[in-house]
């Protein structure tokens, strides 16, 4: 079971919180000792894209921890006030500076132990102009046989790439869901 226990202070008044189960609830929450505020913690959404140009896929080499120096698809945390597709577009712009058009939702991957849900969209690149941001060392297009499988930063990225190339061989893209343990 996932128990992050990461909240120490109340976000309303700053007092110490204690983990206990509120009345009419069934799990422990961080509850403020002073004002009674209950802090609910829920999985974090990570949104990204599989940007495609011809037979090539765009990867970014991470310039930030964790996994600095390894390759990833453009992806990051969904922000408040944006939809999943807006977040995927923004992350692709921030990390690669790529101009894309979103296609379908492609993978829905539960990373329960990390408290995260990862969503990747397929995307068509509109041109090959790239302008990587500070979180990216370099952005580069790869053919399937050129993918640096041993240097992929995250399991969800590797699984999404595997599904992409498998579906492309079949000539039809589905939506893939999985629980990553
Ligand atoms: Zn409080």
Mean pLDDT estimate for the chain:
96
The answer on 52 and 32 residing in a single domain is: no
Distance from the alpha carbon of residue 17 to the mean position of ligand 1, in angstroms: 8
User: pLDDT by residue (tens digit) across 29-40?
Assistant: 999 999 999 999
Task: Say which CATH number the domain at 54 has.
Answer: 3.90.79.10
Answer yes or no: do 61 and 12 share one domain.
Answer: no
Range of the domain at 116: 44-179
Report CA(36)–ligand 1 centroid distance (Å).
6
Secondary structure in 3-state letters for the chain: CCCCCCCCECCCCCCEEEEECCCCCCCCEEEECCCCCEECCCCEEEEEEEEEECCEEEEEEECCCCCCCCEECCEEECCCCCCHHHHHHHHHHHHHCCCEEEEEEEEEEEEHHHCEEEEEEEEEECCCCCCCCCCEEEEEEECHHHCCHHHECCHHHHHHHHHHHHHHHHCCCCCEEEECC
Structure confidence at residue 2 (pLDDT): 55
Above 60 in pLDDT, residue 22?
A: yes
Answer yes or no: do 51 and 119 share one domain.
Answer: yes
Averaged pLDDT for residues 12-25: 95
Instruction: Tell me the CA–centroid distance for residue 16 and ligand 1, in Å.
Output: 7
* Confidence check: pLDDT of 119 > 80: yes
Ligand 1 geometric centre to CA of 162 (Å): 46
The pLDDT assigned to 181 comes to 82
Inform me whether the pLDDT recorded for 3 exceeds 60. Answer: no
Distance 22 CA to ligand 1 centre (A): 15
| pLDDT above 70 coverage of the chain, percent | 97
C-alpha 80 to ligand 1 mean position (Å): 23
- Specify the pTM: 0.92
For range 59-72, the mean pLDDT: 97
Calculate how far, in angstroms, residue 35's C-alpha sits from the geometric centre of ligand 1.
Answer: 4
Centre of ligand 1 from the C-alpha of residue 116, in Å: 26
Going from the Cα of 44 to the center of ligand 1, the distance in angstroms, rounded, reads 23
Q: How many domains does the structure of the chain reveal?
A: 2
Domain co-membership, 15 together with 57:
no
pLDDT band at 44, cuts 50/70/90? very high
**Which pLDDT value is given to residue 6?**
82
């Amino acid at each position: 079971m996932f128990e992050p226990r990461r909240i120490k202070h109340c976000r309303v008044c700053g007092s110490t919180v204690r983990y206990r189960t509120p009345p009419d609830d069934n799990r422990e929450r961080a509850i403020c000792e002073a004002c009674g505020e209950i802090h609910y913690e829920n999985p974090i959404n990570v949104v990204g894209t599989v940007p495609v140009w011809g037979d090539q896929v765009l990867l970014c080499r991470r310039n930030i921890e964790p996994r600095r120096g390894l390759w990833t698809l453009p992806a990051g945390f969904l922000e408040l006030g944006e939809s999943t597709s807006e977040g995927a577009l923004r992350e692709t712009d921030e990390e690669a500076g790529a101009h894309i058009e979103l296609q379908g939702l492609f993978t829905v991957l539960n990373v329960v132990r990390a408290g995260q849900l990862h969503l990747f969209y397929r995307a068509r690149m509109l041109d090959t102009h790239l302008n990587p941001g500070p979180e990216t060392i370099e952005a580069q297009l790869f053919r399937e046989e050129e993918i640096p499988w041993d240097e992929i930063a995250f399991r969800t990225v590797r699984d999404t790439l595997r599904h992409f190339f498998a579906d492309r061989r079949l000539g039809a893209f589905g939506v893939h869901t999985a629980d990553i343990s």
